[in-house]
């Protein structure tokens, strides 16, 4: 039996972290998830899969545009024409809302339309049978341990597959909001395959039986780096399971580091970045992909203070103009300074340094613990746009680190002792 495992399509998603200089690409970026889904359907049809599993978050919000709904239904209809069934669950972004009108889906779609664990049975063209267990979100958060509600494999079909949109405990600090589970809980069910959704990075939690996240089909911001796509999963009655990753995204986010050297001027910085851009342009032509690059200038303390301030204000971005006419482009989305982590203020005063480090730790607390952000959580529109940032640990770390770097620079402690004036 051959399955396509998709998740986290996030149609209608906004691309975050893009400045005004990227406006010429906005249409292409917004269209990217749609193109990725269209490519997925073509792969499913060409490879003659027996079923397509979509493990939640088809849309980025419970409020969808007409275009997104029409496009999605049209893609499902392509599968209906070749008799490929679709098993669909709703996640925390596109949860089933009583206020939303019911979508008329093609007859080949088996939608889990309740937060209770239910199942569908299908039979392939070759006569193999499979039972799919799953549930959908009916609110933004599910704090229950839904894994405990899945039955042990009844073994009434050739294969038993679980579809689960949620977070494993330990992967995300806020896993308790998204149907938390442990691998042991899933293993106890003795299923042949677990198709997971919610985490946007494709990775395997367990080899046998295979339990894995497919990730999303298109990166949406700079923290969702690398290739994105789907899994083609082959199940056999002999018990062997094979999995193949299929690339779907046309636009990839990547992070690069440029190590600043002593006495570098702005021309040296530009030349070093352009060298990396050229390498990605060559790779993009070969792979037929485009790249959005976040540039980190490491050891930035080696640069002149005034140059660092100009880069910090975004002036260097003006140098890298983007041509939207190129079919495969490479764009710089941001240039960030990263100073030597060893350069810390107050190392000369143990008590003061201890207080400083404690203050940094306090600032790294989660958004739910920061006074004043509770109203953000209660606003549906704001949470739709900001949920990924609020849930991203690295966002807070970078904010605090930026403040620390600024203090270090202002106090003149980013220089080696011999570079300082007496």
Within a domain: 342? no
pLDDT for the residue 357: 66
Last residue of a domain, which of 247, 277, 304? Answer: 247
In a shared domain, residues 296 and 175: no
Within a domain: 343? no
In a shared domain, residues 70 and 156: yes
Question: 392 or 70: which carries more pLDDT confidence?
Answer: 70
For residue 361, pLDDT beyond 80: no
Within a domain: 416? no
- Statement: the pTM of the whole predicted model exceeds 0.75: yes
For residue 175, pLDDT beyond 60: no
In a shared domain, residues 241 and 277: no
Within a domain: 419? no
Last residue of a domain, which of 197, 224, 247? Answer: 247
In a shared domain, residues 228 and 265: no
For residue 24, pLDDT beyond 80: no
For residue 346, pLDDT beyond 70: no
C-alpha to C-alpha distance for 83 and 249, rounded to whole angstroms: 26
Work out how many domains the chain is built from and give that number: 3
For residue 371, pLDDT beyond 90: no
Within a domain: 344? no
pLDDT band at 13 (very low <50, low <70, confident <90, very high): confident
In a shared domain, residues 138 and 32: yes
pLDDT for the residue 327: 83
In a shared domain, residues 138 and 185: yes
176 DSSP assignment: G
- What residues does 4 pair with on adjacent strands? 52, 232
In a shared domain, residues 355 and 208: no
Both tokens of 203, joined, read 């990775």
Q: What is the CATH number of the domain that holds 197?
A: 3.60.21.10
Reported residue count of the chain is: 422
In a shared domain, residues 227 and 207: yes
- Within 103-197, residue ranges assigned H as helices are 183-187
Within a domain: 421? no
For residue 380, pLDDT beyond 90: no
Identify the domain containing residue 354 by its residue range: 350-411
In a shared domain, residues 262 and 372: no
For residue 181, pLDDT beyond 50: yes
Angle at 35 between CA 88 and CA 218, to 5 degrees: 70
Residue-wise pLDDT tens digits, 273-323? 999 999 999 999 999 999 999 999 999 999 999 999 999 998 999 898 766
In a shared domain, residues 330 and 357: no
For residue 259, pLDDT beyond 70: yes
Residue-wise pLDDT tens digits, 216-227? 999 988 889 999
pLDDT for the residue 367: 43
pLDDT band at 104 (very low <50, low <70, confident <90, very high): confident
Question: 90 or 239: which carries more pLDDT confidence?
Answer: 90
Contact indicator for 210, 3 with CB cutoff of 8 Å: no
In a shared domain, residues 155 and 75: yes
pLDDT for the residue 418: 45
Within a domain: 422? no
Last residue of a domain, which of 194, 214, 247? Answer: 247
Within a domain: 73? yes
In a shared domain, residues 233 and 261: no
């Amino acid at each position: 039996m051959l399955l396509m495992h998709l998740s986290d399509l996030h149609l209608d998603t906004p691309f975050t972290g893009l400045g005004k200089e990227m406006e010429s690409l906005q249409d292409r970026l917004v269209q990217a998830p749609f193109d990725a889904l269209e490519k997925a359907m073509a792969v499913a049809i060409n490879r003659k899969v027996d079923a397509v599993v979509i493990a939640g978050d088809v849309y980025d919000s419970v409020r969808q545009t007409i275009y997104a709904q029409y496009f999605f239904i049209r893609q499902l209809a392509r599968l209906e024409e070749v008799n490929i069934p679709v098993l669909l669950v709703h996640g925390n972004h596109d949860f089933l809302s009583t206020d939303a009108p019911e979508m008329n889906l093609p007859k080949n779609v088996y939608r889990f339309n309740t937060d209770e664990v239910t199942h569908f049975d299908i039979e392939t063209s070759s006569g193999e049978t499979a039972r799919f267990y799953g549930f959908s979100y009916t609110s933004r958060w599910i704090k229950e341990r839904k894994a405990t509600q899945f039955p042990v494999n009844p073994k009434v079909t050739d294969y038993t597959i679980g579809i689960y949109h949620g977070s494993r405990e330990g992967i995300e600090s806020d896993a308790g909001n998204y149907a938390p589970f442990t691998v042991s809980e899933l293993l106890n069910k003795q299923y042949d395959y677990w198709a997971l959704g919610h985490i946007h990075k494709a990775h395997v939690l367990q080899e046998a039986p295979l339990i894995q996240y497919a990730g999303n089909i298109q990166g949406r911001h700079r923290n969702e780096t690398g290739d994105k796509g789907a899994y083609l999963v082959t199940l056999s009655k002999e018990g062997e399971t094979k999995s193949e990753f299929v690339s779907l995204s046309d636009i990839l986010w990547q992070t690069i580091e440029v190590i600043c050297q002593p006495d570098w001027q702005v021309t040296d910085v530009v030349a070093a970045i352009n060298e990396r851009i050229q390498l990605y342009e060559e790779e993009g032509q070969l792979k037929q992909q485009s790249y959005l690059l976040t540039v980190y200038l490491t050891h930035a303390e080696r640069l002149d203070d005034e140059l660092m301030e100009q880069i910090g204000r975004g002036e260097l971005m003006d140098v890298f103009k983007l041509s939207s006419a190129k079919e495969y482009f490479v764009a710089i989305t941001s240039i960030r300074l990263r100073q030597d982590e060893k350069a810390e203020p107050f190392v000369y005063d143990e008590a003061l340094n201890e207080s400083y480090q404690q203050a940094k730790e306090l600032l790294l607390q989660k958004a739910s613990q920061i006074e004043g952000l509770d109203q953000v959580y209660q606003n549906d529109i704001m949470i739709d746009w900001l949920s990924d940032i609020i849930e991203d640990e690295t966002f807070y770390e970078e904010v605090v680190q930026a403040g620390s770097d600024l203090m270090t620079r202002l106090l003149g402690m980013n220089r080696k002792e011999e570079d300082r004036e007496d």
